[in-house]
Amino acid sequence: QIEASLKQIEIGGTEVECFKSFKRQEEMAASWKKNLEEEVIKPKETEQNLQARYGNLLSTLEKAEEIMVGF
């Protein structure tokens, strides 16, 4: 019975170490995921700004063409 108890203690210790390792990996993954999300946000914002500028330029071009047709 003592051997069985010692084996359970050994297994429990191994399980604790595994869970600690998993926790460290999850923490690193969470940090990596957050950094990745931030890297994705920047190009999206840039694309939105460029799309808005493009829309404004098209509008300006259309107005200029209307003025040119008037001459």
Residue 5's pLDDT is 92
Residue 71's pLDDT is 74
Alpha-carbon distances of 22 from 5, 13, 14, 15, 41, rounded to whole Å: 25, 14, 12, 10, 28
Write out pLDDT tens, residues 15-60. 999 999 999 999 999 999 999 999 999 999 999 999 999 999 999 9
Q: How far is residue 55's CA from residue 10's CA, in Å, rounded to a whole number?
A: 67
70 or 17, higher pLDDT: 17
**Domain limits at 21?**
1-71
Task: Provide the token pair at 57.
Answer: 């330029």
Indicate the number of domains in the chain. 1
